[in-house]
Structure formats: C-alpha cells, structure tokens
Structure 1
Amino acid sequence: MFGTNTERLRRWIGLSGAGLLALGLAGCASQSAVQSPTPQPESIADVRVEQDGDSTAVTLLGLNQPVFTAFSQQNPERVVVELAAVRPDTLASSIAVYDGLVDEVTLSTFSAGTGDEMTRVEVSLEVPADFQVVPGEDGLVIHLQAKIAETSDASSADAWSAIDADPWAMVPTDDPAEIDSSDANDGASDWTAQPTPAVPATTLTGVQAWQVGDGSV
C-alpha cells in the first residue's frame, strides 16, 4: 500500500512539474512578444538637389537603405520612387529646380493595401533622362542623366547610306548658304547648256566678173 501511494505521488509531482514548465515557457514567449519593439518608419529629413553638367542628383536625406520601387513615366516625363515604411518630416507641395533637366520634386504620402504608410517621390523632367537610385552616405540618391538625342545621327547615317548606293547623289543639307549656292549653280548650268550656232567654214561675201579677150571664154 505504501509503495502504491509513493508511486502515485511521484507521478503527480512529475505531471505538476511538466505543467509548471510549460506555463513558464509560455510566459517567457509572451513576454518576449510584448517586449519586441514595433519597427518605426523612416523619415525624409530634407531633399537636396545638386547639378553636375548634364546630370542632376536628388538626395532624400535621412534614409538608410529603405525598401523602394523606382520607374519612369511619360506625358509628362518624370521619374517616380515609391518608398515603403517611409514618411517625410515636412510635406511641401513641390520643390522648384528648373536646371534644364529637372523641373520639380514632389513628395506625397499614401497608404498601401496592407495599411502601411508609404511615400511617393515624383521628379518632373524637362527632357527624357536615364535614372539610377542608389543608397548614399547621407540618404537615398536619385541620379538623373539626360538622354542623348539620336535623331540627327540616324538622319546622317541614312544620307550616307544613300550616297553609297548612288555616288552621284547629293548629301541633303539644311544650310541656307549651301542651298543658295546650289540654286546659283543650277542657273549657270541651264545658261551654259544652250547650244551655240556653228560658224560656217567659208562665207560668200561678193561676186566679181572679168572679160578675157573677145569675151568668148
């Protein structure tokens, strides 16, 4: 009888200890979950714009490798950067630049489908530009480089291709001086092209008669 009670006591102590251990672990897990801080969104302290020749750098100060999406749009030309969990400290309607490449920089906030706060940065462009968004020492940098016009080069290439096909063809030109010169040459060619009458080899200028002897001859 004593052995049976002892065995039951041991089992009860074991079960109680296991239950207390489980409760302790659950309490630690709950405490850890409560103590974990919620990530705070980053903020844009300011916007800095720097021009270097035909390129411009727009720096979003205060950001440290944020999650972003960057893309370009047309009509009008602009580059858009959407930043997750980022908010601007000050929300200006627009930042005027007008350096020949960038017209304005605009910041606005919106809510994603998950409810997270996001910031949209729109860089309005004067001309089409290539762009690259990279982290910098002071924040996120949007590098902008004006695209090189290829229309004139393509026209020149087509003109020279036509000359290769027809060596007697003239190179198209928009120079007024060359056009006037060409017109003058065309007039001279038309004048000299008229035929000049040929001069006869012998010209009859008069008739004379002589009488010899009795005139029989």
Structure 2
Amino acid sequence: METTHTTPLAKWARFMEIIIPAYMFGKSWSIADEKTVDLFRAEFPPFLIDLAEYLKGLAGAGHDSPLGRFYASYAGAIIGIGIVVILAMVMHLIMRDRKFIDSLRFTSVTLLPLAILNGTLSHVMKTLLKNVSAATATEEALTQAAYTTPMNQSMMFFLFYITALWFMGRRTGLPRKKRIAVVIVGVAFIGVYIGAGLLITPSEWSVLLPKLMQSVSAAQ
C-alpha cells in the first residue's frame, strides 16, 4: 500500500510566505512620528505616508503608546498587502499557468528585496535625528547619511529584486519569454514606485537639509 505523507503546517507556511513579505513591505510607511514624518514623506511616496497616518488616526493610535506602535505597524501592512495583491494580478495575467494564490505567493516572495529596502530606509530616517549631535550634524554628514547612502543602497536592492524575479520564475518552471515579461513588469513597478516619490530628490533635499540641521540644533 502506498503511503501518503502530509505536512500539517504546509498550508500555513505558504500563507505566511505571502503575508510576511507584504507586511515588511508596507510596515515602513507607518512608523514615522511627529519628528520624522516630513523625512518619511520625502523618502517614500507621500500619499502612502499620508494614507498610513490616516489609518492610524482612525483608531486614535498614539505614536508613543505600545498599542499605538503595534497598530502603526499593521496600518502600513494593510497598505502593503493591498499593493502586493494588485501587483500579483498583473503578474497573474502574464504567467497564466498557475492559480492566483500561487501568483500572489510568487509576487510576495520576490518582493522581499524591496521590503528590506523599505526597512533600511525607514531605519535610517528613524535613527538619523537620534544619533547625530550638533557637532557632527554637518551638511556633508547629513547629506551622506540621509541622501547619498540611501540612493546607492536602493540601486543594489533594485538589482536584487530583478534577480529574484528571474530566478524564482525559472525555479517555478516559467518559460523564458514569460520570465522576461515578469522582469519587465518588475522594472515598471520600480519605475512607478520611484515616480510616485520613493527616495529624496535633489530639490526635496535642498529644502529638508536646513530644516534637519535646525531640528538637530534645537534638540541639543
């Protein structure tokens, strides 16, 4: 008699492969506080930050309370999951060789590099004002920390994302032409994300830098 082996947690594992990257992708948009919200609006698409702040406001989540910080993470995650679902719909139209839930899983898992990028950028924004002093907050130091370094790091994570799309497609049996199409969608998604306001532009930095230096001086 043939024995069938089952893994009880397999379905939950596949579910978490969808939820965790989407959670990580969106979490960063909702952890700004009063001191850093302007930096977050410059570093990320402003409408995403505003939407996350609106969702937090609906529940009256304070920035400093444990409940407020808990809900703040989930406010951004809700937005992140929504964006992943929309992107998965586009990917599903291209792949057409699997169930939508599998296309959603593919989209979410391959999005991990951008989720890590969002986390890196938000960490920089959150810790920037805490770790600098009036003595070290020179124009060059702040520009390197908040503008130049994030810009360089983002290029690396964009490359990781495109690489993940290609090799995940090959691993899951996606034909070469469809893998190319999936990569094109990924590049387009990066372009839309940047066009919507990801990363600080030179004009934004010229406005933010004086405010940032003033905030650091006032905090001392």
Q: TM-score, normalised by structure 2?
A: 0.20
Structure of greater relative contact order (alpha carbons < 8 Å, 6+ residues apart): 2
Which structure has the highest helix share of the two?
Answer: 2
Which structure has the highest strand share of the two?
Answer: 1
Q: TM-score, normalised by structure 1?
A: 0.20
